[in-house]
């Protein structure tokens, strides 16, 4: 078996996961607001994430608390994230559990993109700048709570 074949298979699987993660839509969704937060993430097999931030919605700021769990995570990292929020009708809809779609890897100072969706249909297109070393298969969830 050629040495490059596992790399090609891994890249193909990652591309397939990212394509499946993209929401199917006929027209662009209207932007509802922005989510900003800072979290710490640690893991060795099972990972935990915690932090706080705010939602910017219709000219007002709403504080949020972030908690999460990853089932296949290794590393320690601090992330500063900003997300564009879609399908948010009122500020309370931001609260809930979000499922992460796709795999991610970022190394010291890397930029990591994540798509999240909750049961209310709220979608967060999240970009995070990471300090530290962390790898995840993207098997986990993120919960946004009231402070």
Q: What is the pLDDT of residues 47-97, one digit of tens each?
A: 888 899 999 999 999 999 999 877 667 788 888 889 999 999 999 999 999
Q: Does residue 20 surpass a pLDDT of 50?
A: no
Task: Report yes or no: 96 and 137 within 8 Å, Cβ to Cβ.
Answer: no
* Radius of gyration (C-alpha) of the chain in whole angstroms: 16
State residue 82's pLDDT score: 92
Q: Does residue 121 surpass a pLDDT of 70?
A: yes
Phi, psi for residue 135 in degrees, rounded to 5: -135, 145
Confidence of residue 27 (pLDDT cuts 50, 70, 90): low
CATH number of the CATH domain containing 74: 2.40.128
Please state the separation of Cα 56 from the chain's center in Å.
17
Average pLDDT in the chain: 76
State residue 144's pLDDT score: 95
Q: Which domain holds residue 119?
A: 5-145
DSSP string for the chain:
--TTHHHHHHHHHHHHHHHHHSPP-SSPPPEEEEEEEEEEEEEEEEEEEEEEEEEEETTEEEEEEEEEEEEEEEEEEEEEEEEEEES-SSGGGG-EEEEEES-EEEESS-EEEEEEEETT--EEEEEEEEEEEEEE-S-EEEEEE--
Please state the separation of Cα 128 from the chain's center in Å.
8
Question: How many domains, in total, are found in the chain?
Answer: 1
State residue 132's pLDDT score: 78
Our CA dihedral for 97, 98, 99, 105, rounded to 10 degrees, sits at -120
């Amino acid at each position: 078996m050629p040495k490059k074949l596992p790399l090609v298979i891994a890249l193909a699987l990652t591309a397939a996961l990212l394509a499946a993660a993209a929401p199917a839509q006929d027209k662009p969704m209207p932007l509802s607001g922005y989510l900003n937060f800072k979290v710490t993430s640690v893991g060795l097999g099972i990972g935990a994430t915690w932090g706080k931030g705010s939602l910017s919605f219709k000219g007002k700021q709403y504080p949020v608390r972030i908690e999460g769990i990853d089932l296949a995570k290794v590393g320690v990292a601090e992330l500063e994230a900003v997300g564009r929020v879609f399908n948010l009708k009122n500020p309370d809809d931001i609260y809930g559990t979000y499922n992460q779609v796709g795999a991610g890897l970022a190394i010291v100072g890397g930029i990591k993109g994540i798509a999240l969706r909750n049961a209310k249909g709220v979608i967060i297109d999240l970009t995070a700048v990471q300090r530290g070393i962390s790898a995840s298969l993207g098997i986990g969830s993120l919960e946004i709570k009231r402070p």
